[in-house]
Amino acid sequence: MARTRKLSARQRYDAWLEAHPALACLIVGASVALALIGIFAFVTFSGFGASAEFIYNQF
């Protein structure tokens, strides 16, 4: 009976990246864009884009 070696999570991840380079690039790009949009929306609509005096008065 032959023993099969179980792949580690890193090996499975690397194999998936090697098999799907375009999809991996798309996922990374979408994640970065979503993070930038989230940061922009937070700064714009939360009041943290206001003057320092306004921010300090919140605390």
Per-residue model confidence (pLDDT) at position 2:
59
Percent of residues, the chain, with pLDDT higher than 70:
88
1 has a pLDDT exceeding 60: no
pLDDT (tens digit per residue) in 18-42: 999 999 999 999 999 999 999 999 8
Per-residue model confidence (pLDDT) at position 20:
92
3: left (phi over 0), alpha (psi -120 to 50) or beta: beta
Per-residue model confidence (pLDDT) at position 55:
66
DSSP string for residues in 32-54: HHHHHHHHHHHHHHSSTTS-HHH
Are 55 and 48 within 8 A, CB to CB? yes
Average pLDDT over residues 47-53: 71
Q: Which two tokens stand for residue 58?
A: 């919140």
